[in-house]
């Protein structure tokens, strides 16, 4: 990774972190920010954060729902209308399991693997709610590259866990 591309990844992750700060602190979820960026020109196609939209929404889910709305389609049909490769930046690795019963973010990304080629993550998901997260392996096994953007871990975890009770 060149220095300029590393700068872009860090800058984009900082933007995702700024989005995460918009999420209300609660003891029952992580505050996460996400950005979907077109690879060809670094255009931000969508961005979101935990609980931005109604319905106990995760950051990645908000991005996909907003992108689907922009394209007058459903999240399930996005892969049929998105024709340019994109990357997903998320402050915390996508969840593989949702206690709410909603579709996990790993599965949402896998539905879009025709155009989401890389997932950049700031930190691994802590084992707080669902234990160890095999999501990275699931994504990589399906051909989606997962890259850790280093350097913001402490800040990301501080924002993500705001509102959690101390043990």
CA distance 8 to 143: 23
In this prediction, residue 16 carries a pLDDT of: 98
Residue 1, pLDDT above cutoff 70: no
- Strand bridging mode 44-49 / 33-38: antiparallel
CA distance 117 to 100: 27
Residue 21, pLDDT above cutoff 60: yes
CA distance 136 to 95: 9
Residue-wise pLDDT for 114-142, tens only, equals 999 999 999 987 666 555 668 889 999 99
93 is catalytic: no
The answer to whether 15 touches 36, Cβ cutoff 8 Å, is no
Tokens of 4: 């300029």
Residue 89, pLDDT above cutoff 90: yes
Q: What are the chain's domains?
A: 3-160 (3.40.140.10)
Overall pTM > 0.75: yes
Residue 79, pLDDT above cutoff 90: yes
**From 47, 52, 60, 75, the catalytic residue:** 60
CA distance 129 to 132: 9
């Amino acid at each position: 990774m060149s220095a300029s591309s590393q700068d872009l990844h860090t800058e984009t992750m900082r933007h995702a972190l700024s989005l995460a700060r918009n999420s209300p602190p609660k003891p029952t979820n992580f505050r996460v920010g996400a950005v979907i960026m077109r690879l060809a020109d670094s255009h931000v196609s969508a961005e979101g954060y935990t609980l931005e939209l109604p319905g106990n929404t995760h950051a990645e889910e908000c991005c996909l729902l907003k992108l689907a709305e922009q394209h007058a389609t459903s999240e399930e049909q996005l892969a049929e209308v998105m024709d340019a490769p994109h990357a997903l930046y998320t402050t915390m690795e996508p969840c593989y399991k949702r206690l709410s019963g909603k579709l996990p973010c790993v599965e949402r990304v896998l539905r879009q693997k025709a155009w989401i080629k890389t997932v950049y993550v700031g930190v691994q998901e802590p084992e707080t709610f669902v234990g160890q997260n095999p999501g990275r392996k699931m994504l990589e096994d399906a051909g989606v590259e997962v890259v850790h953007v280093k350097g913001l871990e402490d800040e990301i975890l501080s924002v993500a866990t705001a509102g959690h009770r101390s043990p």
